[in-house]
């Protein structure tokens, strides 16, 4: 990719990225806050409940991220179409129809598969007691897959239209609803039965339905979107289904490779011990919360790059990339410092030290967070890098990079350091850091090569 140079507008691009990214980040954080609320409340039950929930969630997360990754094609496709031919609402409707069809086709069998969560985990060698708790949790959580996919597709479309504020509103309402339902269904408040970890999964499913209804409804309520009838019952996917699969399947593959690495690290922690497993769940929540910011910046960059790419403005593509990298990496440097200086305080947000085994879990989680600080900058850089490349519809190369970095570098190191050295759980986190660093560097090189 090359073009004559044009005057750079770094401040304008920085501001434009922030304006678009802020509500996307807030929407991502709201989704993570729902899970963090689940973890914090289940953590009040017992170490065993938290460990089992962690196993169940990581199995669910693999299925969820497959669909969310596939829905990730909506933003770059719609952004490109808007940048190239603003008035073509038919193309937008066909993309929405393709996303709807793909979401249903994936969600139905995946939800049924999660009903077998407990035997799957036992077959993987996880403790029977933890697998049983995970099965209860998945019974409540599994039906949330379809609304989760609907939310992902809607957020991509809203971002492409530069209307991510609706996603933030839906997410904020979802956090409040989930917290109330967690309190009611886990502990038996407000006249509801005390359902324990099953109640936590059910609360997430019900709140996800609320978020999906608001997110999809925004396309019929917001005036500039309603007139386009993006989500039309009469629309047929046509050629957009093929394009969604061409762009989305590698995104789903990349997402699965990364989430699979972290899910595999959770299973490794199960072999280290129950305390390490519960502490790992806590540390992952903190790291995931921080990750939502560069992820949102990368999603905003997908839209900005996609629109500029559709318009043929290569200089704008480059400027969008520079601004996104500066914001994403700068933020993660700050979170790395916080994890390094105050890991104990962060761990205590999720664990009641007076609960059975709570003090040991909190101390172990603090040690893991100190290790997590090592990969914050790399994690931010890879999140932004993959978002930028998606804006160019470059999704196959990032998937190959993710495979090498996560599964040929990160996971073998995590397994060796965690199970064959005295580092134990900390070794698992060091392996994760190595894999993320490789992927971040390779994606940066790819972006530079594609925008020469």
- pLDDT tens-place string over residues 82-113: 877 655 678 888 888 899 999 999 999 999 99
In a domain, 269, yes or no: yes
Model confidence at 4, pLDDT cuts 50, 70, 90, reads very low
- Mean pLDDT for 224-242 is 77
In a domain, 5, yes or no: no
* CA neighbor of 268 nearest in space, from 423, 406, 428, 47: 428
**Residue 285: what pLDDT?**
80
**Res 46 pLDDT > 60:** yes
What torsion do the CA atoms of 89, 316, 399, 286 make, to the nearest 10 degrees?
-100
In a domain, 287, yes or no: yes
**Residue 2: what pLDDT?**
42
Q: Is 305:16 a contact under the CB 8 Å cutoff?
A: no
- Mean pLDDT for 27-35 is 82
CA-CA distance, 236 to 223, in Å (whole number)?
Answer: 23
Model confidence at 373, pLDDT cuts 50, 70, 90, reads confident
**Residue 334: what pLDDT?**
92
**Residue 3: what pLDDT?**
43
- Mean pLDDT for 337-366 is 82
Crossing angle of helices 89-114/145-160, nearest 10°?
A: 160
In a domain, 285, yes or no: yes
**Res 26 pLDDT > 70:** yes
**Residue 15: what pLDDT?**
87
**Res 443 pLDDT > 90:** yes
- Provide the strand spans (E) within 254-336: none
In a domain, 4, yes or no: no
Q: Is 187:194 a contact under the CB 8 Å cutoff?
A: yes
CA distances from 119 to 47, 125, 145 (A): 21, 10, 20
- Please, what sign has the CA dihedral across residues 298, 372, 47, 44? negative
The larger pLDDT score, comparing residue 397 to residue 127, is at 397
- Mean pLDDT for 255-267 is 85
Longest CA pairwise span in the chain (Å)? 68
Range of the domain at 328: 10-450
CB within 8 Å of 305: residues ≥ 6 apart: 317, 320, 321, 388, 390, 391, 392
CA-CA distance, 84 to 81, in Å (whole number)?
Answer: 5
User: What tokens appear for 241 in the block?
Assistant: 């289904």
**Res 435 pLDDT > 90:** yes
- Mean pLDDT for 73-78 is 89
In a domain, 3, yes or no: no
* CA neighbor of 17 nearest in space, from 267, 402, 302: 302
**Residue 106: what pLDDT?**
95
In a domain, 236, yes or no: yes
**Residue 356: what pLDDT?**
65
**Residue 139: what pLDDT?**
94
Q: Indicate the average pLDDT of the chain.
A: 87
**Residue 436: what pLDDT?**
93
Residue 288: is it exposed, middle or buried by C-beta count within 10 angstroms (0-12/13-18/19+)?
middle
In a domain, 140, yes or no: yes
**Res 262 pLDDT > 60:** yes
Count of domains observed in the chain: 1
**Res 218 pLDDT > 50:** yes
């Amino acid at each position: 990719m090359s073009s004559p140079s044009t005057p750079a507008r770094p401040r304008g691009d920085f501001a434009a990225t922030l304006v678009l990214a802020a509500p996307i980040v807030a929407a991502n954080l709201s989704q993570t806050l729902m899970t963090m609320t689940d973890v914090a409340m289940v953590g009040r039950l017992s170490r065993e409940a938290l460990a089992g929930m962690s196993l169940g969630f990581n199995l669910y997360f693999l299925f969820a991220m497959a669909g969310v990754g596939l829905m990730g094609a909506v933003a770059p496709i719609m952004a490109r179409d808007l940048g190239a031919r603003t008035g073509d609402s038919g193309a937008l409707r066909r993309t929405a129809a393709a996303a709807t069809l793909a979401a249903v086709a994936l969600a139905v069998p995946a939800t049924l598969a999660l009903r077998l969560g407990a035997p799957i985990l036992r077959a993987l060698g996880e403790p029977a007691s933890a697998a049983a708790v995970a099965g209860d949790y998945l019974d409540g959580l599994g039906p949330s897959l379809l609304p989760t996919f609907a939310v992902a597709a809607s957020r991509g479309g809203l971002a492409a239209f530069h209307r991510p504020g609706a996603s933030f509103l839906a997410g904020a309402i979802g956090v409040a609803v989930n917290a109330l339902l967690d309190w009611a269904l886990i502990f038996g408040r407000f006249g509801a039965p005390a359902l324990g970890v099953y109640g936590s999964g059910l609360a997430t499913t019900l709140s996800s339905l609320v978020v999906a209804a608001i997110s999809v409804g925004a396309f019929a309520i917001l005036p500039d979107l309603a007139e386009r009838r993006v989500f039309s019952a009469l629309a047929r996917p046509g050629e957009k289904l093929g394009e969604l699969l061409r762009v989305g399947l590698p995104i789903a593959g990349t997402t699965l490779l990364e989430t699979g690495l972290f899910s595999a690290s959770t299973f490794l922690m199960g072999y280290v011990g129950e305390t390490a497993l519960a502490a790992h769940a806590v540390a992952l929540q903190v790291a995931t919360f921080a990750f939502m910011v560069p992820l949102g910046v990368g999603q905003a960059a997908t839209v900005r790059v996609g629109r500029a790419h559709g318009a043929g403005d290569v200089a704008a593509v480059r400027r969008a990339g520079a601004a996104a990298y500066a914001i994403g990496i700068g933020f993660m440097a700050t979170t790395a410092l916080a994890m390094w200086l105050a890991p104990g305080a962060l761990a205590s947000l999720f664990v009641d030290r007076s609960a059975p085994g709570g003090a040991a879990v909190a101390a172990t989680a603090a040690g893991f967070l100190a290790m997590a600080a090592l990969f914050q900058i790399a994690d931010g850089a890879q999140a932004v890098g993959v978002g930028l490349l998606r804006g160019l519809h470059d999704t196959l190369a990032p998937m190959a990079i993710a495979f090498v970095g996560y599964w040929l570098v990160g996971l073998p190191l995590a397994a060796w350091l965690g199970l064959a050295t005295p580092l134990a759980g900390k070794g698992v986190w060091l392996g994760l850091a190595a894999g993320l660093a490789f992927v971040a560097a390779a994606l940066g090189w790819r972006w530079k090569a594609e925008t020469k």
